[in-house]
Structure 1
Amino acid sequence: MPTIFDALNIGVSGIFVNKAAINTTGNNVANVNTPGYSRERVDILPSMPMYSYAGVFGTGAKIDQIISTRDELIDRRVRASNQEMSYYNKLNSSMDEIQSIFNEENGVGLKGAMDQFFNAWHALSLNPDLETARQQVIEKGLTLSKAIKDANASLNQIKTNLDDQVSSTVTEINSLSKRIAQLNYEIKKAELGDKDHANTLRDQRSVLLEKLSSIADVTILEGSYNNQTKPEMTVLLGGMPLVSGKDYNELTAEKLNGSEYYRVYFVEPSNAKVDITSRIKNGSLGAILNLRDKIISEYKNNIDEIAKTLIQEINKIHSSGAGLTPYSQIEGIYAADPNAALSIPNATGLDIAVKTGSFKLKVIDENNNEVGVFTIPVNEDDHLQAQDPSDEHSLIERFNNIMQGYAQMSISPAGKVQIKAIGNYKFAFTYDSSNLLAATGINTFFTGHNSSDIDVNRIVQNDPSKIAAGKTLNPGDSSNAQTIAQVQLNKVMVNNTQTIDEYYNAFLGSIGSTKQRFDEIYKAKEAVYQQLKTTQQSLEGVSLDEEAANLIKFQRAYQANAKFISVVDDMTQTLINMVR
């Protein structure tokens, strides 16, 4: 049979249990605004009962453990959702920057610059001998070149900024991995007992895991410490173990093997480096890599295509025409391999393939009288420099034989084609069906290869009379200017299926539609994330209303146990008085 002192112990156990419950409630309230804190509760169980001939008697209550209300399932869902939301958030914000580059409001932008450029050529076709019209063509050409180069430079700057973020993000991943590994070690030590729960440490680790998940598409696994049942956390990125229990491996961002941009490498314990860049496809880092390596690269290619098409199409026409004044000498702007077939751009270093055809030179004497027009045949398998005395495919030898006494072609020390008049003769170009002049950069309007270096030829800038508005030296000839103005309306893009305007408008449309798509997906992902966070908060977070109710409940229980002890005290006093 239980004694009166057993009753006293029952009251004391109630005091201790409810005091612990009040302390836990107070801790919950204190951490109501602590990021990642999960609500704790006291797991109260009845004490071991007392057995007697009269039956089983309770001996009070005891604290089994202080447990956290953390729900691993909802935590995993929150991390996965945060990963996707961060990915599209980064894509969305970067697309805002890209869109701002191609602002076409009020006619300002690349489209407006192209319109003004072709309008200037149309105005020149109406007044080919007007100095101001020629100067306007140069100014609008410079404006267009600058707009294209500015777009290219802006995309490059965004790409460089993203590349810098790769390096800083890798540093952040290493810092998070190190801290998670340390917490794994501390949690292992703190949970050596069967009922020990390192709730605070686990909350801290959960915050770090969510942060890490927002950066990259990590996989979080839980195994075991040897044969024990305590969880050991492993964090994988690209199939490589960033964290394994208390151990962690670093990533490094480096430009190896001639890479222009940072690549992400996993550093193995042996210091060997494994490139995992292509394996990172989610989180903010995945978005950065996608933007840097794919999206912006594609946009740069689009701008390059516009620049290359403008350079090549305008130069083909311009190089086959004549300005108001002839040349005494001229040097091409593109270097070529003198021994390679001119029809193979990659072999010659030229952007335009030379085809079978011919080009013509009009020779003028010192009194500005026409001596004659000379035709230079060109074969697609020609090369510039003679390989032996019997070589019949040397363009230089053919040119010099035909133009003997009037002009001479040679290769400059820089590997560029140059033509010099002999004596007091001068020359002008009136025709080219072979593309040789445009390919070598002779008598062209534009210089450069793509959007990074497009510019107006210095010869034209310094002497507007060299603008080839016609096919002759006649001041009223505007046939070439008319043809160049028509380029805007010709289908010269995408295998001759689109005009330059159509191509650029489609390009702008793709940017707008991509931005809209990313924006819509981001909003949807954000809504899912917020919903999951709300669910997580309802399951794990602190509710002040609930804690206030619990506080009253445990306070009353504490008071009741205190009253019970008081009653036991009175009973004890009665027994003592009976003994006297």
Structure 2
Amino acid sequence: MLSTFHGLEIGKRAIFAQQTALSVTGHNIANANTEGYTRQNAITQATNPLSYPGLNAGNGPLQIGTGVETKEINRIRDSFLDGQFRSQNEQQGFWNVKHDTLSKIEETLNEPTDTGLQATMDRFWQSWEDLAKEPDSLAARAAVLSNANALAGRFNQISDSINNLSTDLQNQLSTKTQEMNNLTKQVSELNLQIAKITASGQQPNDLMDQRDLMVDKLSKMADIQVKPAGNGMVDILVGQAYVVEGDQNFSVSFDSKTKQILLNGQTATLKSGEIAGMMESLTRDISSFLSKINELVTTFSREVNQIHTDASAMNLDDIQSRKTDSNAPLDRLPFFVAKGSSDNPETAGDITVNPLIAASLNKIAAARAANASDAGNATELNNLKFKNVSFSNQSTTLNNFYRTIVGDVGIKAQEAEQMESNSEILLQQADSRRQSVSGVSIDEEMTNMVKFQQSYNAASRYISVMDEVLDKLINGTGRVGI
């Protein structure tokens, strides 16, 4: 025989199950706008039935149900969509950094504007053309000196800006690796908490959400691999090296001397993510750009100095001394020197006008004959802008070489901008697909709330009916006729 109170037990279990489902629904609604929260769902199942004894017990499947119970509260999460989101997050982080760096290089060049290097070089060439027309004019000589100082200053400014950008990137790398260490430490700590709760037979959904949010942030920094481990933990690798293994995390750092990323003391190669973008910007984009600018400075100053120190080049002081002594030695001063020396400058940060020329306009060698009105050297210097000169891998004019640098930076910046835009769109699509599965829909939760509320009310009504039945059974039996 079944228990007299069997019906009450079924009603009680129904109420508890619907109450749990309502609580889960309320938790979803409360966290609808919580970053990283995953929608939860209460899974119910019928409890074990009881055999139903009777005269025909051996002739049919006579079992009677005992109600319902909540089997588990699970997260609605798709690991495949997580993988897609994190893969796109890595790419978006990489191209975001690349585009930012290349845009800053473009801003440094400031082309095409009146204050850009190209315009400054054009004014320098123009001043030699003007001097060639009036080689004995102090005003024309002053213009040459002024434009030469402006050009050297512009080279110095570009060098300083790029070096500052390099320093900023190195500082960002140190900060970003420390941020990565903080995240991996949090993941390892959450792993430990999750493992303890999982071992006790419970499902730590909210802790898993916090950990997944940390992993999402890590995916923007580096190309990580996430592998499941025991007791609900996860391992995280960068390449073949662990950054998180169970409840342990391993340090990531940036070595400013070797300009390398170190993982637990060993050199690591990152392929995507913000850190990889910073490393490529630092060691490739900035390094390549600065190398080309330095080559331009070295070649430019070499060519100008060769003409200015030519055996037949004369300045006004040379012309004056030759009037009294036809064999008097010529100054043959280099026009551009490295700061603090008389050597040919090798970097954009070192180029400056020869202090001796800066101190006396007479030292500008415009002539090639002992005549103040001769402009042979000034003409030669003016023609230099049209002359093909030798660079490391090509022969072209100085202006064309600089235009190549500007064009190369522009193309790379445009590509980075396009890739950043594409990766952002793909990231948003991946996030939308993931949110369609894991995100909280208020409309859906409201529908569920009404459904569970009605089920709860029905279970309550069922208990009331069973109470009336038992009341009749207990208080009414044997009282017929009384």
TM-score (norm 1): 0.77
Give the SS at the match of 1:452. coil
Q: Unaligned regions of 5+ residues in structure 1, if any?
A: 225-229, 268-272, 327-361, 373-425, 430-441
Name the SS for the 1:107 alignment partner. coil
Shift of the 290–496 alpha-carbon distance from structure 1 to 2, 3 Å rule, reads closer
In structure 2, the partner of 1:112 is 119
1:325 aligns with 2:325: no
Whole-angstrom distance in 2 between the partners of 1:465 and 1:9: 111
Letter paired with 2:364: I
In 2, Cα distance between equivalents of 1:369 and 1:77 = 84
Larger mean Cα displacement after TM superposition, 232-241 or 8-17: 232-241
Amino acid at match of 1:91: K
- The 8 Å contact of residues 46 and 59 in structure 1, kept in 2 or not, is answered as yes
CA displacement, residues 494-517 of structure 1 (integer Å, 9 cap, x when unaligned): 455321111111221111111111
**1:420-453 CA distance string (max 9 Å, x none):** xxxxxx4116xxxxxxxxxxxx511111222111
Task: Tell me the alpha carbon deviations over residues 67-100 of structure 1, each in whole angstroms, 9 at most, x when there is no partner.
Answer: 1112111111111111111111111122221111
1:579 and 1:303 mapped to 2: Cα distance? Answer: 110
2:266 to 264, 274, 278: 274
On the 8 A contact 1:217/1:282 being kept in 2, the answer is: yes
**Structure with a larger share of its residues in helix:** 2
User: Counterpart of 1:212?
Assistant: 218
Identify the match of residue 288 of structure 1 among 278, 293, 299: 278
Deviation of 1:221 after TM superposition, in Å, equals 1.7
- 1:468-483 aligned within 5 A: 468-483=365-380
Q: Is 1:497 the counterpart of 2:401 in the alignment?
A: no
Distance 2:267 2:14 in 1: 61
- TM-aligned CA deviation for residue 223 of structure 1: 3.1
Matches within 5 A, 1:44-443: 44-53=44-53, 54=57, 55-194=62-201, 196-224=202-230, 230-255=231-256, 259=257, 262-267=259-264, 273-276=265-268, 279-320=269-310, 321-326=313-318, 368-370=324-326, 372=327, 426-428=328-330, 443=333
**1:166·1:262 contact (CA, 8 Å) conserved in 2?**
no
Match of 2:262, SS state, is: strand
Output one character per residue of 1:105-145: Cα deviation in whole Å (capped at 9) or x when no partner: 44221000000000001111111111111111111000000
In 2, the alpha carbon distance for the partners of 1:532 and 1:496 equals 46
Mapped to 2, the partners of 1:244 and 1:157 lie a distance apart of 37
Aligned with 2:317: secondary structure?
A: coil
Q: Rate the CA distance shift 1:364–1:147 in 2: closer, same or farther, 3 A.
A: closer
TM-score for the superposition, normalised by structure 2: 0.92
- Asked if structure 2 preserves the Cα contact closer than 8 Å seen for 1:493 and 1:500, the reply is no
Poorly superposed stretches of 4+, deviation over 4 Å:
362-365
Task: Determine if contact 2:159/2:290 at 8 Å carries over to the other structure.
Answer: yes
Greater length-normalized contact order (CA 8 Å, ≥ 6 residues apart): 2
Give the number of the structure whose residues are more often strand, by fraction: 1
1:453 corresponding residue in structure 2 = 350
- Say if 2:229 and 2:246, in contact at 8 Å, map to a contact too: no
Query: Structure 2: which 5+ runs fail to align?
Result: 339-344
Aligned with 1:289: secondary structure? helix
State which of 542, 547, 553 in structure 1 corresponds to 2:440.
Answer: 542
Q: Is the 8 A contact 1:44 1:63 kept in 2?
A: yes
SS of alignment partner, residue 32 of structure 1: coil
Equivalent residues of 1:493, 1:503 under 8 A apart: no
Give the whole-Å Cα distance in 1 for the aligned partners of 2:168 and 2:240.
27
Q: Deviations over 1:468-509 (max 9, x none)?
A: 112233201211111111111111154553211111112211
CA distance in 2, matches of 1:177, 1:246: 10
- Does residue 467 (structure 1) correspond to residue 364 (structure 2)? The answer is yes
Per-residue CA deviations over 1:10-62 (Å, capped at 9, x if unaligned) read 11110000000001100000000111100111110000001124401111001
The 1-side partners of 2:284 and 2:302 are apart by 26
CA distance in 1, matches of 2:164, 2:283: 14
Aligned pair in 2 of structure 1 residues 579, 79: CA closer, same or farther (>3 Å)? farther
The AA in structure 2 aligned to 1:48 is N
Count of aligned pairs: 461
In structure 2, what is the equivalent of residue 436 of structure 1?
A: none
Aligned CA distance change for structure 1 residues 496 and 67 (closer, same or farther; 3 Å): closer
